[in-house]
Structure 1
């Protein structure tokens, strides 16, 4: 076994795809202590700056003192607490659905929902750039899989037309986690309705950021549960806590509750975490100024990048990828930024396709204007010092 593992590790390193965990000391906010050094953090998903918000920790602490640190069982045994029940009701109200069901993680939610609703006699039609949890959920379901060209509703329609027999589930991210662009949700909803298919949208990166009260991209598009029967999202991004949920009509959610193996056979979310998530939902819904500040930072970053002649992709979300291409070049730029005081992740295969390695820059309402301007200046300097400068004529 040791020899096989060593061979695999050597191959990963040779390809420039080795990853390592960085140790964060203290809170996970816009400024972090990483490996003992203070850096400005531009690579988490804390879009509203709630992960280090004092009210979140206070809600968690108060609840932990009252209900303890764990749920001690699955939801179907004794792990379902009043805090989780209240959180589900508040989430359903937020995204405009009859009911919501909380999972321990986003991965568990997507895998569980898909496998609960389709099987080997059914079909899944999925965007080519869907998140790994949607891909794995589709694989584990046993349904026939059909991949359509990224964000192409006409291609999705063609794929659905060719998926004969059984139920058909059309699956997409709302905001794509590596590119930051948005699916054509209204067009996909029309396609699904016309083809008598179900549409599932993972709004993990849209919740808290877009739509009325931050209810997400699906709500922003005005799509009902008839048009989008399944909405999933996480609570560890804009909400600043942990866990995930699926929302939809009561009968759909009850079916998932009764059949989703990743929920039935997992210990439930700790009730204190649910209490923290409730606080995050309340802040995300009620504090529009945070959302406005986030979008101001996005616009400021994009304007600075354009002024510096640095590459941009089409994204109005907090996810702003800088495509580099080569794995080692992306990693070198990440390290150069770290040396300049900025923590930015290098995303490489297999997370993204070969030849599209990138810096995945994420913006937060907790970033100051000076933070954003400093990052752009540091990136321009690092880019100028690298071979990538030739690609944009710097």
Structure 2
């Protein structure tokens, strides 16, 4: 299970492993944008205009308009008030965490919160289930030592393909200033209405400020990260030394994103079609745990990895987030898969392969 393989090309629906084609049901390129011909052509246009990188502070005295345009489009896509881009999802999370820490906010973490929103090295995540944690949350908030609280969590559990309800937000105390910090790296682009992510699905409260962070390098296929919140919050984060010292997302990619809205829409619809085809094949089987219409199918049957690999089907299976963790075995559907790929996978899973 701890064997690692090396290839020298970008995975898509297949990979070349030791000279043989394997179906590839792994990775996080859910929409397959990095393989989309239209997107690649637009990226070449963007590089012709902006070069490969813009190695300047976003707070410098020379600005590129593409950043404002892309952030406006990202905010509209996510149904958020405003957006701010950085060079990675990890950096987006840490920019927010550092800003909140500087104001003396007390952090309350959910189980399995992503490292992007940790306060290293002091963060200790609670054990137990997410539902148990939400039941304890009003009491935890009320017992906090400061009136300013940050509740930090993931939008969903991508490791085990479990959806989170946010109904508990309505039960939070109404007399404390609460910031809800949500990492949506594995939801943006593939979950929520038209792939818009979690932001619009979280209940609104007058005393609860919502900040959503995400990697753009997964479903969105962009080397960068994003913060969604209200304009005043993002303006304050932008004024920090942490943000000012960061190199930005390469502008050519943001140009391609702005021009490729049709590709994103088509890829999302194709992904849904592929997921539903596999859901139909899985049926009521208890082999997998998964969120409806979500591309990740978790199994506790780790031996499935070796069996499928022997039949030239490569799936996700390795210890995460640290090498000492139990292997996590998942099948990941993407928008590039063809119906015959999914049928072949189903045949091997349910003993019908010829």
Give the total of aligned pairs.
Answer: 350
- Counterparts of 2:147 and 2:158, CA distance in 1: 30
- Find 2:148's aligned residue among 167, 179, 182: 167
For 1:110-156, what per-residue CA distance to the aligned partner results, in whole angstroms no more than 9, with x for missing partners? 1111111124843111111122222xx3336x6x8673744322222
Q: 1:206-285, aligned counterparts within 5 Å?
A: 206-221=187-202, 223=204, 227=208, 229-259=210-240, 261=242, 263-281=243-261, 283-284=263-264
Q: Please, which runs of 5 or more residues in structure 2 have no aligned partner? A: none
Query: Is the contact made by 1:79 and 1:268 (CA closer than 8 Å) also made in structure 2?
Result: no
- Counterparts of 1:379 and 1:218, CA distance in 2: 35
TM-score (norm 2): 0.86
Query: Is the contact made by 1:131 and 1:177 (CA closer than 8 Å) also made in structure 2?
Result: no
Query: Is the contact made by 2:158 and 2:186 (CA closer than 8 Å) also made in structure 1?
Result: yes
Q: Please, which runs of 5 or more residues in structure 1 have no aligned partner? A: 1-15, 325-329, 383-394
Whichever structure has more helix as a proportion of its residues is: 1
- Counterparts of 2:268 and 2:77, CA distance in 1: 15
- Counterparts of 2:12 and 2:336, CA distance in 1: 8
Pairing 1:291–2:268 present: yes
Q: Which residue of 1 aligns with 2:163?
A: 182
Pairing 1:22–2:2 present: no
- Find 2:59's aligned residue among 66, 76, 88: 76
Residue 314 to residue 239, structure 1, CA distance change in 2 (3 Å): closer
**RMSD over aligned Cα atoms:** 3.1
The offset of 1:213, in angstroms, is 3.3
Pairing 1:118–2:101 present: yes
Q: Which deviates further from its counterpart, 82-91 or 36-45?
A: 36-45
Pairing 1:369–2:339 present: yes
Secondary structure at the aligned position of 1:299 is classed as: helix
Query: Is the contact made by 2:71 and 2:82 (CA closer than 8 Å) also made in structure 1?
Result: yes
The offset of 1:107, in angstroms, is 0.8
- Counterparts of 2:91 and 2:163, CA distance in 1: 23
TM-score (norm 1): 0.78
- Counterparts of 1:24 and 1:224, CA distance in 2: 49
Pairing 1:147–2:126 present: yes
Secondary structure at the aligned position of 2:234 is classed as: helix
The offset of 1:102, in angstroms, is 0.3
